[in-house]
Structure 1
Amino acid sequence: MNLHAAIKQGALALGAFALVTAGSVGLIRALTAERIATNVQVYQHQQLREVLPPALADVPLPRILEGAFPLPEPQALGHRAPTQGWSVRSADKNVVILPVVTREGYSGEIRLLVGIDDQQRISGVRVTAHQETPGLGDNIERRRSDWITTFNGLRLESLPTSGWAVKKEGGEFEAFTGATITPRAIVNAVHQALRYADRTPLPGVSDREDVEESAL
């Protein structure tokens, strides 16, 4: 075999190896991304019950999922594509669960669920995905601290507009030592969810008020 043929054969072998490697990396990345997305969805579904009030705490997950509805104007809650919320009803209690996305976190996107009852009160808030700094920003997780429960029972009118901020900025909410950006992002996201629910017709929240008003 002459030198030219050897170089050509080596180049072909190297090219084939590069193609196989690139294909393998792409396949692994695609499978990993799909698995991560599935895990995030499963975790979110598990958290749905966490934002319900005690009166609905025993509602089975399948029943919650059956209450899914297309979210009106999802971009108002940070979504870039159509998405869904969930309406959970009982004889005397109705709650809507809103998925919210904020990109104001220290390390990027934070996803959370906000439960709002038919009196426009927050029944619960849970973070379902984030990349905040371990030991600092991750205190937004319920397993790390009870900070996220400080929103329970609040309505839009419970605080003046200026109160929906961390104390360092004149608001009513504690920040974490060494981490202000993360709690600020959550407070803003929850406040936005309440404003959204106040102006947007939602099943289980807005329609119950219409029924009560028509009965007067």
Structure 2
Amino acid sequence: MSEFYGKLMKDGLWENNVVFSQMLALCPTMAVTTSGTNGLGMGLATTAVLVVSNILVSMIRHTVSSQVRIPVFVVLIATLVTVVDMAMNAWLHELYKVLGLFIALIVVNCAILGRAEAFAVKNGVVASAVDGLAMGLGFTGALTFIGLIREFLGSGTLFAQASNLLGPSFAFLEMKLPGYGGALLMILPPGGFAILGFLLAGKRVMEQRMADKAAAAGEGAPAAA
């Protein structure tokens, strides 16, 4: 059982990552990752919707007929996004103003409906919750990592305005590189596509090297025996 949940986490974080493997949710990935703080906030909001929607879909999977399950899932996801949108407006208003319309657009994030249809409707509540958490954390990690790279290259800062957008307790994250003016291209859309492309290439190279090492180890095992 632990291996099953471990595989779910590995799939969500790396092998089946929403951004780096499935190439989904590229609109918010390109739009909100001008800073690490924006990417972190958007990722956590999406993670909350992913986890709760997976749980609810799993709970009602035997109740809703196959003919109407997609509309039901869409209404369910839209309701959760509305709750998250209102909660962020109430408690994280500065971040809410920065992310703006992209919070509401979580409704059309293909990853959320995709996990509901591909996994939650076929599995139990606990497994669906773990799957949603893994996919959400993988998405959050991707957005935050891209945002940090773009922010660092574009303005020479890391998690700038974290205390204003997320709260004073996050002030320790804020860093600035003295004497570096930044490259404006990195916080513009072309910079986002360039960073994503380099990261995708790097992931492919890492996966190929890991596959080569595994193949070499498999070939060497019989000889050693």
- Would the TM-score normalized by the shorter structure come out above 0.5? no
TM-score between both structures, scaled by the size of structure 1: 0.27
TM-score between both structures, scaled by the size of structure 2: 0.26
Normalized per residue, which structure has more helix? 2
- Of structures 1 and 2, the one with the larger relative CO (CA 8 A, separation 6+) is 2
